[in-house]
Structure formats: C-alpha cells, structure tokens
Structure 1
Amino acid sequence: MDFSVLNEALASKSFDKIADICDNLILQVAAEGVPFQDEWPFTIHLLGHIYVDDINSARFLWKSIPPAIKESQPELVAAWKIGQKLWTRDYAGVYEAIRGFDWIQETEVLIAAFSELNTKRMFELLLSAYSTISIHDAAQFLGMSEEDVTNYVLRQGWTVDSDSQMLTVTKQAIVREQKLDPGKLQCLTEYVFHLEH
C-alpha cells in the first residue's frame, strides 16, 4: 500500500490534512477490495480527525476498527482516550491522556502539535467565556501547572490577584483589516460622479 502522500504530510507537519488523506486512501483501498486492516495506520488516522477537531468522524472510525486490532495496538487505544476526553469535554483529562502514554516518535510529533493547538483553542475559549477565572481552573483547561498557567496568561496581558488566586481576563482588541471590494468602489465612484453631474 502506498502511504507516500500521508508520509509527506507527516514530514511537512501538514497535520490538518491527515484526516482527509487517510479518508481518501481508505475509500480507495475499499473500492479496490484489497485487505488492508493489518497495515493501516489507524492511530495516525484517528489522531488526524482529533487534530482537526472532528470528533464525530473519530468516533465513527473507532467504531469501525475491528476489536482484534484495538487489542493489539495499545497506542491506538491511548489515542482514542484523547478522543473520549474531548467528546465528554473533560479538558484536563485530554492532557492526562496525552501525558499518560509513551508515544512512538512518528506519533509523538503529531501529539505534540495537537497538544499545542488544543492549548490555543482552550485559551481562546477562556478568553471568550470568562472575565475572571481561578488559577486552578485555568490550569485545568490549559493542561499546565498553576505556576506555568500564571506565567502563560501574564504574557497574554491578563492580571493575577495573588490573594484570591484569580486571573482577570484581558480581552485583546480585534484588529480587522479592511478590504476594499473593487465592485463597491466602482459603485461608489459612479454614485459620486452622478451627484457631481
């Protein structure tokens, strides 16, 4: 089986493409009627869906994997634990599942990238949902120690009240680049021209 496209995506760290590549390959192989299950990179495929936050597809993939493969691949089971934690919105559990397994090198790169992306997603969630949050709760959401989370949010402009152990969220100003639509500019030009004449 030719996994060159998948290997290129992994090598170039194009992790957002992995789920689609694997989905297309599995459809292609299924259409050819070729047995593939023993050599299929189920862990990478599952993590590809988790990376792009497509937990429904990850669940369906998990359900379609034969029990014998699940039993013979502990890393696959460990990857699914991450998916389960995301499904139940156990944000602290996501990081526990990540740290709770000794990933092989190929998978470890993808796991590290997912962990970083998940931290960014969680930070954005905190930023939009809270005006204040306890240091403990923020540490749970971001998968960090209380000291690390305090340093992290301070770099993002938040403030810390040491007495109450609370963080005050500082909303960052949204800078929007205005794009000029040539069609609207033409319409405005014609309107001004009509007014002047």
Structure 2
Amino acid sequence: MDLSAVQAALSDKSYSTLASLCDELLLQAASQGFTTDEWPYSVHLLAHLYINDLNSARFFWKSLPQEVKDTRPELAAVWRIGQCLWKRDYAGVNTAAQGFEWGPDLADFITAFLESYRQRIFKLLTSAYSTIRVADVAHFMGMSEEDATNYAVQNGWSLDAAAKMLTVKKPKSQTNQKLDASKLQRLTECVFHLEN
C-alpha cells in the first residue's frame, strides 16, 4: 500500500486535506484487498478531529477492530482528545493532547491541531461574551491564566487587572451592499412625499 501521499501531506503541513485523502486511500485499499496493518490510524483519526468532523471521527473509531484499538497507544491517545471534543471538555482537550509523548509523525500535527482548536475556541468566546473572567478564558483555552491573558491581549482584548476581567474586542462586521439606483430613487420619492 502506497502511503506516500499521506506522508507528503504531513511533511507539507497540509493537515486540512488529510481526512479526505485518508478516507479515499483506505477505501481503495479495502476494495483492492490490501491489509491495513501499516495504516496510519492515528493520523487518520486526528485528521478528522483537525477539521472538526466529530461524526466522521467517531464513526472511524467505531469501525476499527478492537485489536487495533488495544495495540496502538498513540491511537488511543488521539481518541481521548476526540472524546473530550465530543463532551465539550475544553480543558480536557488540551490535557489529553499534552499528556502523551507523540511520535515524530504526529508531534507537529498535534501542535497544529491545538493551535487550530484554540483559534476556534477564541472565536467562540469572542462571539459569546463581551466581558469574561481571565480564569474562564484560561479554562476554555487550556492555558495558564498568564498565557490566556497574553493571547487575548495580543488579539485585541483589554485587561482589567484589578478585576481579572477581559473585555472582548468584537470584530467589525463588514456589510458590503451594492447601491441599486432604483432603490435610491424610491427612497428619495418616499422622503419627498413624507416631507410635502
């Protein structure tokens, strides 16, 4: 079985393409009767978690033979991350990701996953809160309070150190509307009619 495309995607850090690539290659291998003893199960599972496709990750995990689950500790460690994501255990995601000694194939991928995950959580916090306690940001982001504060301030939030509160900087909404001459004409006529 040729896994060079998977290795190339890992080397190029093209992590967002890995899930579909692994799915296709696994289907090809199964249809051609190849054994999957050398299959990069951990990479495949993490690829689905990376693109936040929890349903596919869960289905992939359930489809694996119990022997594969029992004999590959790195795969079980990736699944612990998936379980935390499924349960929305935000701090647990970071604990699970940082609590395992990842092999060379996954170390950079895990780092990229954590950064992507933190960005998603930060975006959610930005949309959900106008002010939030530093401790809560640290909890959700899986960081120390100092690191969470620095991350938030670097992204434009402001800190009230005495109250240990962060004020969220909302992104400016962009509304690009095209000016339609007929609408402008009707508006002008309406205003003219109201004034006279």
Q: TM-score range by the shorter chain?
A: 0.7 to 0.9
1:7, 1:157 → 2: CA distance?
37
Q: What's the offset of the Cα at 1:69?
A: 1.1
SS of alignment partner, residue 27 of structure 2: helix
Range moving further from structure 2, 52-61 or 167-176: 167-176
Given the alignment of the two structures, is residue 17 of structure 1 paired with residue 13 of structure 2, yes or no? no
Find the counterpart in structure 1 of residue 148 from structure 2.
149
Q: Percent identity?
A: 49
2:35, 2:110 → 1: CA distance?
28
Given the alignment of the two structures, is residue 172 of structure 1 paired with residue 180 of structure 2, yes or no? no
Q: What's the offset of the Cα at 1:163?
A: 2.3
2:131, 2:109 → 1: CA distance?
32
Count residues with an aligned counterpart.
183
Given the alignment of the two structures, is residue 46 of structure 1 paired with residue 48 of structure 2, yes or no? no
Q: What's the offset of the Cα at 1:72?
A: 0.9
1:23, 1:62 → 2: CA distance?
13
Find the counterpart in structure 2 of residue 195 from structure 1.
none
Residue identity opposite 1:31 in structure 2? S
1:70, 1:9 → 2: CA distance?
24
> Structure 1: 5+ residue runs without aligned partners?
189-197
- Measured against aligned partners, the alpha-carbon deviations of 1:164-195 in whole angstroms (never above 9, x if no partner) come to 2111111122346x598xxx99xx7xxxxxxx
Find the counterpart in structure 1 of residue 54 from structure 2.
55
Residue identity opposite 2:46 in structure 1? L
Write out aligned runs for 1:76-95 (5 A).
Answer: 76-95=75-94
Range moving further from structure 2, 95-104 or 25-34: 25-34
SS of alignment partner, residue 159 of structure 2: strand
Find the counterpart in structure 2 of residue 33 from structure 1.
33
1:21, 1:56 → 2: CA distance?
17
TM-score by length of 2: 0.87
Given the alignment of the two structures, is residue 5 of structure 1 paired with residue 5 of structure 2, yes or no? yes
Q: CA 1:152 to 1:33, structure 2 compared with 1: closer, same or farther past 3 Å?
A: same
Find the counterpart in structure 2 of residue 193 from structure 1.
none
> Structure 2: 5+ residue runs without aligned partners?
182-196
**RMSD between aligned alpha carbons?**
2.0
